[in-house]
Amino acid sequence: MNSPSAQFVPSRSMSVYDPIHQINMWGEGFKSNGNLGATIPLIDEADLKFDSQSEDASHGILGTPNKYDQEANKPAVDKIQRRLAQNREAARKSRLRKKAYVQQLESSRLKLMQLEQELEQARHQGLYVGGGLDSNNIGFAAPVNSGITTFEMEYGIWVEEQNRQILELRTALNAHIGDMELRILVEGIMNHYSEIFRMKSAAAKADVFYVMSGMWKTTAERFFLWIGGFRPSELLKVLLPLIEPLTEQQRLDIQNLGKSCQQAEDALSQGMDRLQETLAESVAAGQLIEGSYIQQMGSAMEKLEALVGFVNQADHLRQETLHQISRILTTRQAARCLLVLGEYFQRLRALSLLWSNQPREPA
């Protein structure tokens, strides 16, 4: 049996990796465009010190500068110093938010450990908390999956943090803050999306069917589900009209990115169809032995490990698409794009709530 981290490698007729590799290659092309993929040099105190030393040296050669020249340069220096102070304060607040987020996750883990101990004690006392069928029907009783319980608690915290970030980003855009401060917020949101992909990878190892079914999402979000998440090419179609105006080159780059996403999605979908066929064949070939099918499920279990690989590849495509579109756009455009994306998912969750709470006529 393969290891839990093994990934399914499709046949040559289903080249899953080529489209994703093509998307990865986009990053190299965008690094020189001066967008989020490129490093923006910041002016710091060392630069100011160097400028001051250079000015002193020039005084020794050229003599004492004119008093009016000094007065003219003072506002520019003050502006730089204010900008540096603002950058330091924004970075400090970002570190504090991250620390609070980590502490909240740690608190949730402690609560989970306590819950697991209580469940274990209940099982020892003859109580069973499970779902669905009992052991007489399928030959075994499924234990509580602590990996999924952990994911559900962490995901709830993740959504709360995302809502806070979206509110902060909306306020920042309305206040027309500088690009340097805006960049800090953009990078924070991108890191937050990376965190959900890490959490999903761990959850897929615990129960890949749970992740694939989207039970951790609202009903409206599950309507658009594709291999445990959103379909990148469809999301690009939704976002593109809402982040205008774009330059012709940006529009062309995003369209090409969408085509690459579509190719990768098609390859992954074809691989999923083939995996589903082989999994159905393995399950159908099983035989009942001593009232249980467990001994005949070895081949099917190996194919489920391949399914974990498909979920991870789909999430890699989603994450890489977010990174590439942020490199195509300017900092302010990327901030507006992330705001639109976050509000889109908020509206889907709101739609689910409205649908579930609407009054129903008696049958």
Cβ neighbourhood burial of 184 (10 Å; 0-12, 13-18, 19+) = middle
Is residue 4 predicted with pLDDT exceeding 70? no
pLDDT at 139: 41
Radius of gyration over every alpha carbon of the chain, rounded to an integer in angstroms: 27
- In angstroms, the CA 123 to CA 117 distance is 10
Report which DSSP code applies to 292: B
- In angstroms, the CA 270 to CA 16 distance is 9
- In angstroms, the CA 66 to CA 119 distance is 80
pLDDT band (50, 70, 90) for residue 363:
low
- In angstroms, the CA 298 to CA 230 distance is 31
> What does the domain layout of the chain look like in residue ranges?
76-129, 146-356
Residue 83 neighbours by CB under 8 Å, 6+ apart = 43, 178, 180
Mean pLDDT of all residues in the chain? 74
pLDDT at 30: 41
pLDDT band (50, 70, 90) for residue 352:
very high
SS3 303: helix
Lowest mean pLDDT among 95-109, 218-232, 303-317: 95-109
Is residue 291 predicted with pLDDT exceeding 60? no
Percentage of the chain lying above the pLDDT 90 cut: 42
Is residue 31 predicted with pLDDT exceeding 60? no
Residues 238-287 have pLDDT tens digits of 888 888 889 999 999 999 999 999 999 999 999 999 998 888 887 777 65
CA 140 to chain centre: 36
Question: Is pLDDT larger for residue 48 or for residue 319?
Answer: 319
